[in-house]
């Protein structure tokens, strides 16, 4: 039994897996809901956490999990894990969410791909054969871009509404659409420039709260993978469980 936690800047996602099937995958509004959200009788044997929300979140998670005796791993990126090598000079600098998403992508495809996590921040990372995390870029997420324009300028509003796919084909003729179009172009531009570094037709895997807003503009290469970080955490947890049994190092 595995309890997997992805603690991001906006939401905390949890997942439970029994070794064969997902028992639960859910997003929480508050960490205090964690125990009440678990399946009845669920007692994890391993707990794996990717936390990018800082020390205060770590403390709250520790308090929420205090009743479990299962070992807890606070994920950090490393030189290698689950068949993926990290090309960072100092792997520990890489966010655990990006590392888990890259591992999830590699476990799923075993091929060149672009991994996009579009949340509070947008991360755009390259995974290459034969199993290399080749790095990537970080930019403000869509909401942060919109918020920055409204809070740091005197005349621009907080843009409202959503844009149909065809809206990007013509210049906007009103301010709200101009702001949303500009921010969306910025997100898509980063993705398109990064995917151009990969072979033609390499897939783009999209996770995060804004993934659905980006996917329609990226064509057939785009694949929505809302639980990609959880897929990576599961691969790490199961590998760790095997190594704990055999005494091997991961």
How is 156-174 classified by DSSP, letter by letter? -----S---GGGGGS---S
6 and 104 inside one domain = no
**Count of domains forming the chain:** 2
pTM for this prediction: 0.92
The pLDDT score that the predictor gives to residue 159 is: 81
pLDDT band at 246 (very low <50, low <70, confident <90, very high): very low
Q: What is the average pLDDT score of the chain?
A: 92
66 and 164 inside one domain = no
Q: What is the pLDDT of residues 52-65, one digit of tens each?
A: 999 999 999 999 99
- For the chain, give the percent of residues with pLDDT over 70: 93
The residue-averaged pLDDT of 213-239 equals 96
Helix, strand, coil % over all residues of the chain, rounded to 5: 40, 25, 35
Cα(117)–Cα(104) distance, integer angstroms: 12
- Identify the three-state secondary structure at position 243: helix
106 and 145 inside one domain = yes
Q: Indicate whether 249 belongs to any domain.
A: no
67 and 93 inside one domain = no
Q: What is the pLDDT of residues 88-98, one digit of tens each?
A: 999 999 999 99
Centre a 10 Å sphere on the Cβ of residue 182 and count the other Cβ atoms it contains: 14
Binding-site residues from annotation: 6-13, 88, 95-98, 120, 175
Q: Indicate whether 235 belongs to any domain.
A: no
pLDDT band at 186 (very low <50, low <70, confident <90, very high): very high
- Does 97 qualify as catalytic in the annotation? yes
The residue-averaged pLDDT of 210-239 equals 96
8 and 101 inside one domain = no
* Contact call for residues 197 and 204 (beta carbons, < 8 A): no
133 and 66 inside one domain = no
22 and 85 inside one domain = no
69 and 85 inside one domain = no
Where in the sequence is the domain holding 55, given as residue range(s)? Answer: 2-74
Please list the residues that pair with 48 across neighbouring strands. Answer: 4, 73
Q: What is the distance, to the nearest Å, from the Cα of residue 202 to the centroid of all Cα atoms in its chain?
A: 19
Binding-site residues from annotation for substrate: 88, 95-98, 175
Q: Dihedral sign, CA of 223, 229, 232, 234?
A: negative
Check 29, 87, 97, 143 and give the catalytic one: 97
Determine the length of the chain: 250
Kindly tell me if the per-residue pLDDT of 71 is higher than 50.
yes
Last residue of a domain, one of 33, 49, 74: 74
Kindly tell me if the per-residue pLDDT of 162 is higher than 90.
no
70 and 84 inside one domain = no
31 and 112 inside one domain = no
110 and 222 inside one domain = yes
């Amino acid at each position: 039994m595995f309890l997997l936690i992805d603690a991001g800047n906006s939401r905390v996602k949890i997942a439970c897996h029994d070794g064969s099937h997902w028992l639960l995958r859910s997003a929480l509004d508050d960490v205090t809901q964690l125990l009440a959200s678990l399946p009845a009788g669920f007692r994890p044997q391993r707990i794996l956490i990717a936390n990018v929300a800082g020390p205060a979140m770590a403390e709250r998670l520790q308090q929420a999990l205090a009743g479990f005796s299962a070992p807890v791993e606070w994920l950090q990126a490393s030189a290698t894990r689950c068949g993926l090598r990290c090309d960072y000079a100092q792997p520990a600098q890489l966010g655990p969410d990006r590392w888990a998403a890259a591992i999830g992508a590699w476990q799923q495809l075993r091929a060149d791909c672009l991994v996009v996590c579009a949340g509070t921040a947008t991360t755009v990372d390259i995974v290459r054969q034969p199993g290399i995390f080749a790095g990537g870029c970080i930019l403000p997420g869509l909401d942060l871009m919109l918020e920055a324009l409204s809070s740091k300028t005197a005349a621009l509003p907080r843009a409202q509404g959503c844009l149909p796919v065809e809206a990007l084909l013509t210049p906007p003729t009103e301010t709200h659409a101009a702001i949303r179009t500009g921010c969306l172009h910025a997100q898509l531009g980063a993705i398109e420039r990064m995917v151009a570094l990969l072979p033609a037709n390499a897939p783009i895997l999209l996770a995060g709260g804004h993934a659905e807003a980006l996917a329609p503009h990226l064509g057939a290469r785009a694949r929505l993978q809302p639980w990609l970080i959880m897929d990576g955490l599961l691969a790490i947890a199961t590998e760790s469980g095997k190594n704990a049994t055999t005494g091997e190092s991961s």
